[in-house]
Amino acid sequence: MSQYRPADYRNTGPESLPAVESIPLSERGLPPSTYQLFCDLAERYEDRVALRFLMQGTPDETPTDYSYRELCQRITQTANALHHLGVGATDTIGILLPNLPQTEFALWGGEAAGIINPINPLLEVEHIAAILNDTACPVLITLAPFPGTELWQKALELKTQVPSLHTIITVDPAAFLPAGMRDAIDQQRGSYLGDGVLDFDTFISQYNDAGLDSGRQITQTDIASYFHTGGTTGTPKLAPHNHLNELACAFQISTACNMEEGYVILIGLPLFHVNAVFTGLSAWMCGGEVLLATPQGYRSPEVMKNFWPLVEKYQVTLFSAVPTILSGLLNFPTAGFDLSSLKFAVCGAAPLATELARQFEKQTGLVLVEGYGQTEGTCVSTLNPRFGDRFIGSVGAPVPYLKIRIVEVDEKTGALLRDCDTNEAGIIAISGPNVFNGYKHPEQNEGQWIEPGWFNTGDLGRLDERGYLWLTGRSKDLIIRGGHNIDPQMIEEALFQHDAVAAAAAVGKPDPRVGELPAAYVQLKPGADVSETELLAFCEEHIPERAAVPKRILFIDAMPLTAVGKIFKPDLRNHITELTVSEVLAELGVKSYGLNVRIDKQHGQAVTVTLTDSSQAHAVKEALGQYAFKSEVA
């Protein structure tokens, strides 16, 4: 049994929380830092496999394994290498990497030396440079030149745009390939080391693996990481996590999921995202094993194609995914594979369509645990219980030691007005040991705290009689595409640069595969004439984040406005949902129907279709069930 997870706790729902919370978290024996956790785990589990890496994602390849002792040694060497580069406790290490073992070494070794800043490799250079400049980053760890990747070229551009950046440490994925392939890649790329560019493996191998050369005594209140979050402006917000935030989060996940020693968790989500980072840490906290499935994770066709064979071969216990991954896995039958090791799957980061959840559980026989969280809460706030009542559509109950309130706030100041009643929708506020203390820049914290210690998530929801949370909307207006947060203002600001545009409003267009796709409503200036094709091309040129480029531009005579003159986006969301549903019905050959799209206080966006021909009801229900909005067919 893990030394951290309560031995006698079984998560059956909100009613079981008092049992675990009767002992204060401060008495649970959590170490002072993530580094000390790895030292303790190495001493406890020694040669047990901690990390297993698959370069290609095929069942017949030989994995690269690291024991708990070896993992701690690599983390220690990384920390010492960074220390000898001059990285101190308040310095930032930028990490721009796919999923590799060295990414894990960099994450946790970086926290032992200074403050890590994992960055989405798919962001454009300008966006990455803004993040690195915000932290005055001196060291960037990224990918060596490698076929089919752009990170090395991005790193060269960043070196000219980030004045503080003096060292680039490169990780070479070719090290995991057969000798012949490595030689071919070396010949193709030529020399790239030198002049402030180092090779990760060669560099860290020079340093002590038995303890921190810095002698640093890390405390739970020291800042461990900066994770960037889109927020509601075009400038990235940096959310600092201290060591207690991260340790508490790992404890909460492992406890709420009732993880046990020997659990194998497959990581396919990217390691710049809090989900992958802290679900992995929670498995290690319990003496489990992390299976890192290729540098691309779920983006690798091989991983998706071989997912069930990999589960069988490596006896995977659980995995975490977003709805788009679950939808993709439905294309690969489970028949013929022994999946008895698989206990459950966790889904979060984007709304889960009811029909998708039902189909996935039916086809796989798995328990699907839906959760909810945010970067500001380190990772997770709620999870459905494995052993209690799970309600499809609910994101579950608070994890241990995390408190939730549903409140009404002043729209201008963010000040608390009142707590909402049971089943009354309002703003979701969270408080707990995993909740950060505020964004890096003080001005970004204005209106974010309803009371000291209580963070306004910007999400809308309700708590039912038993304490389960149901999401009803997002006041932040973020567009969530396959778990990736897209800032609508980024799209709107780009469109405003066009001479013909008088007003622009970006919203999410419902999509059965990725949840939402970016779309924009545009009001033209009097006398202006421009086509949708021209504006889409303009967006491609002026929006730095590719995933944020809208898929549709819809022209509107006048924007719907609130009493104070703000664009009223709920009307636009209802309109684009109505268009989407109409397209679905047209594809099904439904010609006569009534359609009502609205914002429901309990369920968020809701759709009711009234059919003239009831024989079409089943097909319509099945089609609309693929979307995240609540649908009813009459």
- Give the model confidence (pLDDT) of 337-349 as tens digits: 999 999 999 988 7
In 3D space, the residue among 168, 171, 125, 184 whose CA is nearest the CA of residue 144 turns out to be: 171
Residue partners of 618: CB distance under 8 A and separation at least 6:
none
Average of per-residue pLDDT across 176-192: 90
Q: What angle do CA 481, 485, 491 make, to 5 degrees?
A: 90
In 3D space, the residue among 397, 402, 403 whose CA is nearest the CA of residue 383 turns out to be: 397
Domain boundaries, the chain: 14-409, 479-559, 571-633
- Give the model confidence (pLDDT) of 67-110 as tens digits: 999 999 999 999 999 999 999 999 999 999 999 999 999 999 99
What are the DSSP calls for 91-127, one per residue?
A: -EEEEE--S-HHHHHHHHHHHHHSEEEE--TTS-HHH
Which helix H or strand E contains 129, and what residues bound it? helix 125-134
Other C-beta atoms closer than 10 Å to the C-beta of 249 total 29
Residue with tokens 């003239």: 612
Other C-beta atoms closer than 10 Å to the C-beta of 394 total 20
For residues 592-612, one letter each, b for 16 or more C-beta atoms within 10 angstroms of the residue's C-beta and e for the rest, the string is ebeeebebeeebbbbbbbebe
Question: What residues form DSSP beta bridges with 52?
Answer: 65, 291
Domains 14-409 and 479-559 equal at CATH topology level: no
Residue partners of 452: CB distance under 8 A and separation at least 6:
none
Q: For all residues of the chain together, what is the average pLDDT?
A: 92
Q: What is the band of 235 on the pLDDT scale with cuts at 50, 70, 90?
A: low
Read off the tokens for 421. 């009643």
Architecture, CATH, for domain 14-409: 3-Layer(aba) Sandwich (3.40)
pLDDT at 142 over 50: yes
Query: What percent of the chain has a predicted confidence (pLDDT) above 70?
Result: 96
What are the DSSP calls for 402-424, one per residue?
A: -EEEEEEE-TTT--EEEEPPTT-
Distance CA 488, CA 509 (A): 12
Distances (CA, A) of 250 to 196, 213, 245, 286: 36, 27, 9, 9
Read off the tokens for 168. 């680039």
- Give the model confidence (pLDDT) of 486-523 as tens digits: 878 789 888 988 989 888 899 999 999 899 999 999 99
Contact 237, 21 (CB under 8 A): no
Distance CA 293, CA 57 (A): 6
Residue with tokens 């949902």: 577
Contact 399, 380 (CB under 8 A): yes
pLDDT at 156 over 50: yes
Distance CA 374, CA 471 (A): 13
Contact 242, 294 (CB under 8 A): no
Distance CA 225, CA 238 (A): 9
Residue with tokens 């939808």: 327
For residues 359-369, one letter each, b for 16 or more C-beta atoms within 10 angstroms of the residue's C-beta and e for the rest, the string is bbbeebebbbb
pLDDT at 564 over 50: no
pLDDT at 563 over 60: no
Other C-beta atoms closer than 10 Å to the C-beta of 523 total 16
- Give the model confidence (pLDDT) of 440-496 as tens digits: 999 999 999 999 999 999 988 999 999 999 987 666 677 888 878 787 878 988 898
Sign of CA dihedral 618, 624, 627, 630: negative
The CATH superfamily holding the domain 479-559 is ANL, C-terminal domain (3.30.300.30)
pLDDT at 18 over 80: yes
- Give the model confidence (pLDDT) of 214-227 as tens digits: 999 999 999 999 99
| pLDDT at residue number 288 | 97
pLDDT at 285 over 80: yes
- H runs (alpha helix) in 429-499: 488-496
Q: What is the pTM of this model?
A: 0.82
